[in-house]
Every structure is written in structure tokens, then in C-alpha cells.
Amino acid sequence: MIDTVAQLEQVRAECRKMVTRRAGLSAGAAVVPIPGLDIGTDVSLLMTLLPTINEKFGLSPQQIEGMHHDRKKYTLLAITGIGSRLIGSTITRELIKTILRRVGIRIATKSVVRYVPIIGQAAAAGLSFSAMKLLGNAHVEDCYKVIYQVLAEQKNTVYPMPPPALPPGSDVC
């Protein structure tokens, strides 16, 4: 469980590196001129990437269910505030297809240009890399925002800030 902003920053950095590695795999699959391979690879990569990100941030469905009542409440409120359908839910192929539509133009362009020898394959790889990176990093940032809000809420509730110091020479009485 993430309890400090320093831990949160570390998890964010790890997840962003993981997204970059998976985006590289997506780009590699886009170079191979087999119809449907790139989309199938992207779906498979996202089916494993998104739950892994959720888990690293402590936001898998099982982790949320096992949280202390107050933290669970803050987490669910933060998830609702972010508006993400990917945090704290089971990732399905249908859900992946829905989010792939967000980058639909890139995917459609990638599918068409990859049949142009050499230049098209390079362009398809670049589009695939950027689409995967965009989706993955957006999810990382959503998870980051949720946990950051939870930490801030817990700090305000559990660890209230001390009252401000009185200026010298002033008396309350």
C-alpha cells in the first residue's frame, strides 16, 4: 500500500517505464505485415498492462475490496472524480476495445500505412508506439491522481494540520 508521496512518485516512475517497454513491443508488432497482428498485440498488451498498473498503485478490485473502510471510501470517491472506467475494475476485451477507440485515428492510419514498404512500416511502428504510450501513461496519471487525492484526504482527516502560530506579541486572552 502506498502511504507517502515519495512512494507514489516511485510507483509512477516504474509504471511509466513499464508503459514505454510495452509501447516498444507494440511498435515491433506493427512492423510485421500480418493483418490483425498489431491490433491483437495491442489488445493483449493492454489486457496485461492496465491491471498491472492498477495493482502497482494498489487499485486492483481485490486491493480496493481489502482496504480499510475510510481509505476505501476516499479511493472510490477519487476514482469517481477522475471518471476512469479502468481503475478498480476488471479489464475486459470490450473495455480495451472502447479505450482503443480513443486513439482510433492513429490505429486506422497505422493499419493502412504499414503496407507501404519500409516508410509505411516505420510510420506504423511510430503510431503504434505513440498510441500505446498515450493510453498507458494516461492510465498511470489517472491512478496517480486517485492515490494522491486519497493521501491528501487521509492527511487532512487522520493527521490534521496544526493551527497556525500566533504572531509574536499577540495574546489570545
Are the beta carbons of 131 and 110 closer than 8 angstroms?
Answer: yes
Going by pLDDT thresholds of 50, 70 and 90, the confidence category of residue 51 is very high
Q: What is the pLDDT of residues 111-168, one digit of tens each?
A: 555 555 566 677 777 778 888 898 899 999 999 999 999 998 887 754 444 444 444 4
* Per-residue pLDDT at 8: 93
Q: Which three cell numbers stand for residue 123?
A: 510510420
Instruction: Enumerate the H helices of 32-158 as residue ranges.
Output: 37-56, 61-65, 69-82, 93-100, 104-113, 119-158
More confident residue, 4 or 108: 4
pTM of the model: 0.77
Mean pLDDT, range 36-45, rounded to an integer: 80
